[in-house]
Structure 1
Amino acid sequence: MTVIRIHSLTARLAALFAALTASLLVLVAVLFGRMLEAHFQELDLHELQGKVTLIRNALQEDAATGGRPERIQALERAFVGHESLGVLLRDVDGRVLYVIHPEHFTAAQRAGERLPGASADWTVDERPHRGVEVGIALPRIGSTDQTIEALVALDLSHHAHFLTSVRNATWAGVVAAALAAALFGWFAAHRGLAPLRRVTETARRLSARQLAERLAIDDAPLEVRDHVEAFNGMLARLEAAFQRLGDYSADIAHELRTPISNLMTQTQVALSRPRTITEYQDILASNLEEYERIARMVSDMLFLAKADQNTLAHASEPVDLALEADALIDFYEALAEERQVGIVRQGQASVQGDRLMLRRALSNLISNALRHTPDGGRITIRIDAAAAGIHLAVCNVGDPIPADQIERIFERFHRGSAQRESRGEGAGLGLAITRSIVRAHGGKITAQSADGVTGFTITLPPHGAPPTP
């Protein structure tokens, strides 16, 4: 047997509405039909019992005052105009004494067959009948008791016709109601799924250059409002991601263009005329610096790519942050003294992680602070241990970072302001690498800049706590 599958959700809902409505109406129609049949049966039996009482009274009264002809005449008068009723009288031996409207009885009944019970149904010429059979005791004449069996039949054709009309009207109503429910269900589902169709239409129009469209939430039903909000959120994230990707590509091209242009210029100058070995060595040394700059940039980009893919492997060992900070202070001491910048450390704590990676993250922050601290300024490295985690802050005085740039300061190739960019010597990847290292250790990094003081705070899990990247 082939099963027809409806793939349209609107059609499924419409079919469900129609099936549910039809099922309920059929159930109501069946119950109503049975109640109506029971009601007609009760009316028929009540009418038959009334006719039996009429026959009994007529026979008993006429038996006391007259003979058989008088009784027969009394019955005929009683049933004048009752064409749907039949009466069959028999004696105790089954002999038929008299019949009124014999067309309501079967041949077997006219021959003396009794009903199987007090009442029964039968069919004559495809016409349904219902009847009752009772015994009627006549007044004693002399020493003889007389008993007559009376079979009263009622033609139910008018009831059957009425019930057939009711059933036909009911089934027609069920079909009409089911179609109306299907139409209403289709309309309701079609209207309700309109936001999903708009999602599809919007998705078809999307491209890398057209991500600014958003779906309206006000007219969306509650059931799909979360879906619409999630879709709008996805579009916002995609737009931001494509924007960052475009900026990232432009920044890469910009950062690589300078060293490549320098290499090309120096090479063209070197090839413009013959030079001494010393001059060639100077040009190669200058080119080597540009190659090293490109290599550092490529290495940093590969590092960030691994961090984005969560494949940044690192060791897990106890790391004394105070010792690492002191080692870096010694490393930058010459540069700091040259500019009369003081670097001090406060506090100490230990964490679990990769010593070289954490040292690189701290080195990036100190190097960044040195570049943006004016001569004679001060850099403070503060380490605090708390139950919630280890806090490492690097603060310096200098040009502030605008408030609208704080959230973007950790993006690749991004610098906080024009003043900070003019003082930067790197490619703008240091803070992005620092954030990746901190996240790989299950921590977070934040930036604050106000009142001429800029600070970066790293929060790491306490020593012994497993990191959660």
Structure 2
Amino acid sequence: MKLVAGQSLTARLTLLFASVSTGVLLLLGLLVGALVERHFEDLDTELLSGQLEIVRQAVVAARSAGASAGHSGALAEHLDRVMVGHHGLALVVRGADGRLLHASAGADFPAEIQARLNAQALRPLKWSGRDGRLYRGITGSAPTGVDGEPALAIALSTELTHHEQFMDSFRAALWSVVALAALLSGGLGWLAARRGLAPLRDIARDAEDITADRLDRRLRSEAIPSELAEVAQTLNEMLARLEASFRRLSDFSSDIAHELRTPVSNLLTQTQVTLSKARSAEEYREVLASNAEEFERLGRTIADMLFLAKADNQLLIPHREAVDLAQQVASLLEFYEALAEEKDLRMTFSGAARVSGDRLMLRRAIGNLLSNAVRHTPPHGHIRVVLDGGDGRTALVRVENTGETIAAEHLPRLFDRFYRADASRRHSGEGAGLGLAITRSIVIAHGGEVAVRSADGVTAFELRFPG
């Protein structure tokens, strides 16, 4: 059964249910019909075989009474006597030379049955007579009981009119029952499908209430079948992801507007003030230098955003090479040494690890963590970098710093773009808030994972790379 594209699931199930039921009933009816036909054939064969045996006994009795091949009248008398009371039976007897010795009134045997005379153990033959009626017949031989005398050839047939009438009635009843059963099956199938698919309609109604303003709504999965409950649970999980993504996108749009508005507003204000009156060359030089700083900040923010956009579209493809993480960490600690001395910070690292990855990207990811640690570690604090090569299958980079404990609700969002746990530092000029997001993108591009934990005045960021 070919299903039409766009056809409702209820219609499909109804058609499928009706088709299967009709097919099963048809096969059952054909099987019953074949068995009934075979039963009639067995009955006819038994009847004809029994009658053949009676004819053989009649031939022997006629021969004993003095009837020979030349005295067919006595033989015919005996044969007519044994055929009395058997309506629908016909008999033909021929001699060994093919001469007709006896034939019942109305006997109608085809040439094929004549050719089979004297043949033994053949299945009954079915044919249509000149009157249009159906017959079934067998052939055989009848010994005369005299030594040396050839056996007579016998052909017996029975009319099948009664059988055919029964089979016609049976087929008519069968097709009527199949047609009625198909209609009933279709109706019952439609009711069952409608009732069975009612939970889907409930899910559809619940889904209609979910909009961009109501992404917190969820599909009910308590009172629906277990098969659909799994679907509803999957959709609810998808809605949760969409809600989180939509929230991050909304926050990102708001944050990016604020981040770009500040330097643009500074540039515009400073330029307008400078143009309000004539300035000396030195003053213009100072203004241009200040504007250049703002442009650099804008450039870094835009470059970081483009980097993250490439990461989001799986366009961030690292160049693979063997990288000694201990060497990179030592170089970065040396770079941040001056900043650490200004705040009297102590920086240490231990361990060793090697990974296969893009050296510049990995250096940038670790550098972002160190920059973040230097900014948020209070004076006289401690920054510690730990490398762990493990068993060679993974490499761990952990950057710990002392300071205020970050609240648990902020930890899952620290790697989001423009997110800062301390809202008062949002526009303090301490960066655009993209460093940790870039770090996560680099680690994911290398097939790794990121994690963060904060407790007892120590915050630790972990980068885990495959070896």
AA aligned to 1:361 is: A
Q: 2:45 aligns with which of 28, 33, 42?
A: 42
- TM-score, normalised with respect to structure 1: 0.72
Q: 1:456 aligns with which of 458, 461, 464?
A: 461
Once the two structures are superposed, the pairs formed by residues 53-92 of structure 1 within 5 Å of their partners are 83-84=87-88
AA aligned to 2:117 is: P
Compute the displacement of 1:365 (Å): 1.5
Specify the SS of the correspondent of 1:404: coil
For 1:347 and 1:406, how far apart are their aligned partners in 2? 26
Residue 164 of structure 2 corresponds to residue 160 of structure 1? yes
Compute the displacement of 1:203 (Å): 8.6
Paired-residue identity, %: 42
Query: Counterpart in 2 of 1:436?
Result: 441
Closer/same/farther in 2, CA of residues 257 and 63 from structure 1, 3 Å limit: same
Residue 416 of structure 2 corresponds to residue 415 of structure 1? no
For 2:360 and 2:97, how far apart are their aligned partners in 1? 123
Closer/same/farther in 2, CA of residues 61 and 200 from structure 1, 3 Å limit: farther
AA aligned to 1:158 is: H
For 1:328 and 1:94, how far apart are their aligned partners in 2? 120
Residue 121 of structure 2 corresponds to residue 116 of structure 1? no
Question: Is the contact made by 2:19 and 2:182 (CA closer than 8 Å) also made in structure 1?
Answer: no
Deviations 1:126-162 (A, max 9, x none): 33445778769699xxxxx9x9999876443222222
Question: Is the contact made by 2:117 and 2:154 (CA closer than 8 Å) also made in structure 1?
Answer: no
For 1:332 and 1:456, how far apart are their aligned partners in 2? 18
Closer/same/farther in 2, CA of residues 409 and 5 from structure 1, 3 Å limit: closer
For 1:298 and 1:186, how far apart are their aligned partners in 2? 60
AA aligned to 1:394 is: V
Deviations 1:268-327 (A, max 9, x none): 333444444444444333333322221111111112222223333555555444444344
Query: Counterpart in 2 of 1:467?
Result: none
Compute the displacement of 1:253 (Å): 0.6
Query: Counterpart in 1 of 2:397?
Result: 392
Specify the SS of the correspondent of 2:410: helix
Deviations 1:412-466 (A, max 9, x none): 111234467587711111111122233334433321101111011223345xxxx
Question: Is the contact made by 2:218 and 2:239 (CA closer than 8 Å) also made in structure 1?
Answer: yes
Closer/same/farther in 2, CA of residues 172 and 233 from structure 1, 3 Å limit: same
For 1:436 and 1:114, how far apart are their aligned partners in 2? 93
Residue 446 of structure 2 corresponds to residue 445 of structure 1? no
Question: Is the contact made by 1:18 and 1:181 (CA closer than 8 Å) also made in structure 2?
Answer: yes
- TM-score, normalised with respect to structure 2: 0.72
For 1:366 and 1:91, how far apart are their aligned partners in 2? 120
Query: Counterpart in 1 of 2:374?
Result: 370
AA aligned to 1:375 is: P
Compute the displacement of 1:103 (Å): 4.6
Question: Is the contact made by 1:396 and 1:453 (CA closer than 8 Å) also made in structure 2?
Answer: yes
Once the two structures are superposed, the pairs formed by residues 190-339 of structure 1 within 5 Å of their partners are 219=224, 222=227, 232-312=236-316, 314-316=318-320, 319-339=323-343
Compute the displacement of 1:94 (Å): 9.8
Contiguous gaps of at least 5 residues in structure 1? 140-144, 463-469
Closer/same/farther in 2, CA of residues 103 and 286 from structure 1, 3 Å limit: same
Compute the displacement of 1:227 (Å): 6.3
For 1:230 and 1:314, how far apart are their aligned partners in 2? 33
Deviations 1:333-389 (A, max 9, x none): 343333332222334445454444333322222221122222222222223332243
Deviations 1:23-48 (A, max 9, x none): 63365145314422323313432563
